[in-house]
Amino acid sequence: MNINDLKEILLNDNHTIVIYKNDASVFVSDDRGVVPLMKLLQEDKSQLLDSIVVDKVIGKAAALLMVFAGVKEVFTPTISSPAVEVFKNHDIKITFDSEVDRIINRKGDGLCPMETLCLDIDNPEEAFFRISRFQEIGNRGIDS
């Protein structure tokens, strides 16, 4: 299976992410944002090591998580400029169709919260811990 096969799975089956590893396993998800990456990282980080990731949209947060996970190759239809820099700085092969300045939130009225959360950092481990903390707060509710 190659990157073009994975792109076809992503686009034809309308998934948000497809991950291929070790010439055998394919993981697909319809969850949005960094949720699928975080689930895999929290279960067992090694699941992503040396994998090929095809993701619908990649911002800086997702890029940092992929570096943290040790992925070897990435394709996306849409990527933010900060995410491109992350991959270049960590020598991860990246191909994409369109580069945008920043990833916009789902409402279209501001930046993606994950992009905002990680804009000021370059350390993949710190990104993982920030996003984990953000998810914990979100799952408890801000007031609890």
> Phi, psi (5° rounding) for residue 28?
-125, 150
Q: 87-126 pLDDT, tens per residue?
A: 999 999 999 999 999 988 888 888 888 988 999 999 999 9
DSSP state of 49: T
CA dist 16 and 32 (Å) reads: 6
> Phi, psi (5° rounding) for residue 129?
-70, -35
CA distances from 69 to 48, 59, 64 (A): 6, 15, 9
Sign of CA dihedral 116, 120, 124, 125: negative
- What does DSSP say about strands 52-55 and 73-80: parallel, antiparallel, or unpaired? parallel
Question: Which string of DSSP letters, residue by residue, matches 59-116?
Answer: -HHHHHHHHHHT--EEEEEEEEHHHHHHHHHTT-EEEEEEEESSPBPTTSSSB-HHHH
Q: 24-73 pLDDT, tens per residue?
A: 777 889 998 899 999 999 998 888 999 999 999 999 999 999 999 999 99
- Which pLDDT belongs to residue 96? 96
